[in-house]
């Protein structure tokens, strides 16, 4: 069996403006808003770490320094917790931390688009395949979306895009894929269409924010012209790369929450709280009472 180069590094583009969540995101990056007790970015970092990722590359922008602080030691806090014998809190902090020397932070000086943000990581990634995780998308799954993709990659190599079913009447809101022949754990990907007009979608599988890409994407991105919305689009670069390299789709069967939107963020909080046995016990009657009493506007 062919041995493919391992996926060791992951890119987290966190330089977007988060306009959908203003004014909350004026001073606080949307990636630092919490889903229950962890910032959104920690959920996504944990997914990458569980998939065997060894180096975590954050493409940040202005006002995002707090993300770097989040993944650093807080000496005074550790000291105080330890003096007070708060071992559980200390263990939670330790568990959330990357190992020393396993993170890199680089800046996208202007938010020129997702494709441009990915390109900013080129020197840190070098000449090897890498994972790309859109940190807005928080995913709940027994195995972990990226873990399942890494597993598929071990058999296929190439480039892999995670997809997920949406109702057919919502396909116009998303990037949708053209599905080819099925393979064990996925399918041959034959195309992508960004926000297809209603009734024209080639499938109801949307691109949900997890990718494994080959480094040749950087060569394409270096000369990529702005596309939709005047932004340098990752989809355009992937379509160009698909001319010379295989692309596969992975069908994710867990739940994805778009935490860059207010609704998705609230849904994620309710769902993660209800998945916590202790919290669910006290929350359930509260939610039921709310559903009974609140009249729709």
* Residue ranges binding ligand UTP (CB under 6 A): 13-21, 59, 108, 111-114, 116-117, 134-136, 260
CA distance 221 to 266: 34
Nearer to ligand UTP, 14 or 161 (CB): 14
Q: How far is the CB of 220 from ligand UTP (least distance, A)?
A: 17
Q: How far is the CB of 24 from ligand UTP (least distance, A)?
A: 11
Buried b (16+ CB within 10 A) or exposed e, 67-78: beebbeeeeeee
Q: How far is the CB of 13 from ligand UTP (least distance, A)?
A: 3
Q: How far is the CB of 102 from ligand UTP (least distance, A)?
A: 21
CA distance 168 to 37: 34
CA distance 133 to 121: 13
Give residue number: closest CB to ligand UTP. 16
According to DSSP, the residues that pair with 250 across neighbouring strands are: 162
Q: Using N-to-C axis directions, what is the helix angle for 277-293 and 262-274, rounded to 10°? A: 130
Q: How far is the CB of 264 from ligand UTP (least distance, A)?
A: 11
Q: How far is the CB of 133 from ligand UTP (least distance, A)?
A: 9
Q: How far is the CB of 39 from ligand UTP (least distance, A)?
A: 13
Two tokens, residue 50: 């569980």
For residue 38, report the phi and psi dihedrals to the nearest 5 degrees.
Answer: -130, 140
Nearer to ligand UTP, 81 or 234 (CB): 234
Nearer to ligand UTP, 112 or 240 (CB): 112
Nearer to ligand UTP, 13 or 249 (CB): 13
Q: What is the DSSP string of 14-41?
A: -----GGGTTTTTTS-GGGSEETTEEHH
* Structural Rg of the chain based on CA atoms: 20
Peptide bond into 23 cis (omega under 30): yes
Nearer to ligand UTP, 249 or 260 (CB): 260
Nearer to ligand UTP, 165 or 194 (CB): 194
CA distance 154 to 256: 24
CA distance 170 to 99: 41
Two tokens, residue 244: 């010379």
Nearer to ligand UTP, 18 or 249 (CB): 18
């Amino acid at each position: 069996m062919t041995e493919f180069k391992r996926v060791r590094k992951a890119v987290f583009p966190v330089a977007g403006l988060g306009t959908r969540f203003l004014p909350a995101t004026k001073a606080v990056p949307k990636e630092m808003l919490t889903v229950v007790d962890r910032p959104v970015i920690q959920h996504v970092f944990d997914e990458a770490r569980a998939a065997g990722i060894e180096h975590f590359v954050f493409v940040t922008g202005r006002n995002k320094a707090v993300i770097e602080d989040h993944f650093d030691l807080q000496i005074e806090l550790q000291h105080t917790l330890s003096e007070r014998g708060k071992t559980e809190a200390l263990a939670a902090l330790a568990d959330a931390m990357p190992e020393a020397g396993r993170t890199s932070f680089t800046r996208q000086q202007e938010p020129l688009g997702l494709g441009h943000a990915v390109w900013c990581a080129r020197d840190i990634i070098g000449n090897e395949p890498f994972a790309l995780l859109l940190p807005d998308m928080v995913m709940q799954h027994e195995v972990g979306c990226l873990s399942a993709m890494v597993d598929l990659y071990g058999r296929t190599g190439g480039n892999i895009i995670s997809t997920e079913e949406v109702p057919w009447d919502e396909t116009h809101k998303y990037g949708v894929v053209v599905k080819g022949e099925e393979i064990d754990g996925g399918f041959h990907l034959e195309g992508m269409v960004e926000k297809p007009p209603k009734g024209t979608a080639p499938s109801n599988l949307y691109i949900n924010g997890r990718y494994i890409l080959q480094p040749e994407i950087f060569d394409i991105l270096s000369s990529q012209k702005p596309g939709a919305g005047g932004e340098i689009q990752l989809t355009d670069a992937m379509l160009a790369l698909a001319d010379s390299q295989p692309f596969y789709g992975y069908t994710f069967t867990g739940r994805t929450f778009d935490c860059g939107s207010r609704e998705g963020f609230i849904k994620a909080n309710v769902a993660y709280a209800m998945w916590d046995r202790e919290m669910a016990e006290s929350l359930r009657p509260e939610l039921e009472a709310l559903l009974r009493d609140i009249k729709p506007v």
